[in-house]
Structure 1
Amino acid sequence: MAGLFESAGDGSAAIALDELEASILRSLEVQMLELIGPGPGKGGDDPLAALFAEGPTEAPSDPALARLFPDAYGEPGQPVDADTAAAAGEFRRYTEIDLRTRKREDALHVVRALDGLEGEGGVLKLTPAECLRWLGALNDLRLTLGARLEVTEEDEQGLYALPDTDERKPLVMAYLWLGGMQESLLDAMAD
Structure 2
Amino acid sequence: MAGYFEPQGGPGGGAAIALDEVEISILRSLAVQLLELIGPAPGGESDDDGPVDPLDALFAESPSEPPKDPALARLFPDAYGDPERPQDEESRRMSAEFRRFTEGELRGRKREDLLVMVRSLDALAPAGVLTLKPEEARQWLGALNDLRLAIASRLEITAEDDGDRLFALPDSDPDKPMVMAYFWLGGLQESLVETMLP
The verdict on a shared fold, with TM-score over 0.5 as the criterion, is: yes
**C-alpha deviations, 1:63-92, integer Å up to 9, x for none?**
000000000011224201101100000000
Structure 2 CA distance, aligned partners of 1:190 and 1:25?
24
Structure 2 CA distance, aligned partners of 1:49 and 1:170?
41
Partner in structure 2 of residue 174 of structure 1: 181
Asked whether the 8 Å contact 2:17–2:131 carries over to 1, the reply is yes
Partner in structure 1 of residue 149 of structure 2: 143
CA shift in 2, pair 1:50/1:136, >3 Å: closer
Ranges in structure 1 where 5+ consecutive residues have no aligned partner: none
What's the RMSD between the two structures over aligned residues? 1.6
Query: Residue 110 of structure 1: SS of its match in structure 2?
Result: helix
Structure 2 CA distance, aligned partners of 1:82 and 1:32?
31
Choose the corresponding residue for 2:28, options 22, 26, 31.
26
Choose the corresponding residue for 1:162, options 147, 166, 169.
169
Moved over 3 A (4+): 45-50
What is the one-letter code of the residue matched to 2:134?
P
State the Cα distance separating 1:48 from its structure 2 match. 4.3
Partner in structure 1 of residue 191 of structure 2: 184
1:122 aligned to 2:128? yes
Asked whether the 8 Å contact 2:57–2:105 carries over to 1, the reply is no
Ranges in structure 2 where 5+ consecutive residues have no aligned partner: none
Range 13-22 or range 68-77, more displaced: 68-77
Partner in structure 1 of residue 11 of structure 2: 10
Choose the corresponding residue for 1:109, options 106, 112, 116.
116
Structure 2 CA distance, aligned partners of 1:175 and 1:71?
24
Q: Aligned residues, how many?
A: 189
Structure 1 CA distance, aligned partners of 2:105 and 2:36?
17
Asked whether the 8 Å contact 1:135–1:182 carries over to 2, the reply is yes
Query: Residue 18 of structure 2: SS of its match in structure 1?
Result: strand
Structure 1 CA distance, aligned partners of 2:130 and 2:173?
33
CA shift in 2, pair 1:188/1:87, >3 Å: same
CA shift in 2, pair 1:150/1:182, >3 Å: same
CA shift in 2, pair 1:87/1:21, >3 Å: same
